[in-house]
Amino acid sequence: MNANDTTINELIENYVSDVALKLPRAQRGDVAFELRALLHEELQAKADAAGRPADAAMTMALLQAFGHPNEVAARYRPTLTIIDPADGHAFRRATLIGLAVIWCAGLLEVLQQPIGSGWDVLTPLSQWWLGIVIPSLWWPGMLVVGFALAARSRRRRPNAAVWTPRTGKRTHANRIAMAAGIVGILCGVFVLIEPRWLLDVVWQGRAAQEAYTALTYAEPFRHRQAPILLVLLLLNIPMLTAAILGGRWSVNMRRMETTLSLITCGVMLWTVLDGPVFMADSSDSTVKFVMVVIVAITLINFGIQAFRRVRPKPDRGVHAQS
């Protein structure tokens, strides 16, 4: 497979993924499998008609002519109509009558409060306005306005809705971000080896003794979890360096990254549950809270990635609707 084939396949896979992610999870695999095969067939037919091999430009022309992923995804599922056009006037009439009933009923309720003077009327009226009127309007109002503005923007700028391939953030490495990551890891290693060094760097040895005590490791952590966390941090450096030099993440590198992250999360949870990290209770509770947050964010991120992953598989009778 040459570089041109790789580019063509990446464009098609990118497009198929964008379409599949607009569909319910149960449909994604079948639709992705069918759509990918269809696009390859049409691209081959286009190349045969042109009398030359397919290339990236021909592939982009085919994909953009095929339609925006939102439009293509709509072909694979029934059209969802919230309000039938024939019921538009009835919807408006029912909305106005319903709001009038809600507002009047709420107003009658708040006006049952004792009123001693003219100023006392302002209290139930403010309660009615804030507790009845506004809550009855903000949600449907924001939805209607938001979708209306989005539709108007698409009509005024049709070129903005033209599909373009994503940058491939899961494969292409951002060298600046990777370099910043290496710097962050080295700072983490510096602090992990001896956090009291941070006090010497910032305050040049003039920090209070209580601060040094607060950043003193408990001996069980120093001898058990700390060396493991140090090794796990250092293992990220050659992986990030390889990504910077290569300019992209390979499948094996992503697997290594996932494995290291999960192992690190496991060690952090072990640290939180095993015993104190620092001698001072305040420092210990703070660092454990940070570890729990890191673990939670990491696992949530992996969960989102797993949910959004598209796995093309054989067709099970899911077809686009004409």
Residues 100, 66 contacting (CB under 8 angstroms): no
Q: Is residue 43 within 8 Å of 58, Cβ to Cβ?
A: yes
Q: What is the pLDDT of residues 101-116, one digit of tens each?
A: 888 888 877 777 776 6
| Token pair for 172 | 């292409």
Give the 3-state secondary structure percentages of the chain, helix then strand then coil, rounded to 5. Answer: 75, 0, 25
Q: Identify the CA nearest to 291 among candidates 188, 177, 187, 186.
A: 188
Q: Are 179 and 239 in contact (CB under 8 A)?
A: no
Give burial (CB, 10 Å; 0-12/13-18/19+) of 95: exposed
The answer on pLDDT for 320 being more than 90 is no
Please report where in the chains the tokens 């290496």 appear, as a residue: 182
Q: To the nearest whole number, what is the mean pLDDT of the chain?
A: 81
Q: Rounded CA gap, 41 and 36, in Å?
A: 9
> Poorest-confidence range of 167-171, 211-215, 275-279, 289-293?
167-171
Burial 258-274 (b: 16+ CB within 10 A, else e): eeebeebbebbeebbee
Q: For the whole prediction, is pTM greater than 0.85?
A: no
For residues 193-218, average pLDDT: 80
DSSP 48-79: HHHTS---HHHHHHHHHHH--HHHHHHHTS--
pLDDT tens per residue across span 230-256: 999 999 889 888 888 887 778 788 888
pLDDT tens across 33-76, in order?
A: 999 999 999 999 998 998 888 888 898 989 988 988 888 888 88
> Confidence band (pLDDT; 50, 70, 90) for 1?
very low
164: confidence class by pLDDT, cuts 50, 70, 90 = confident
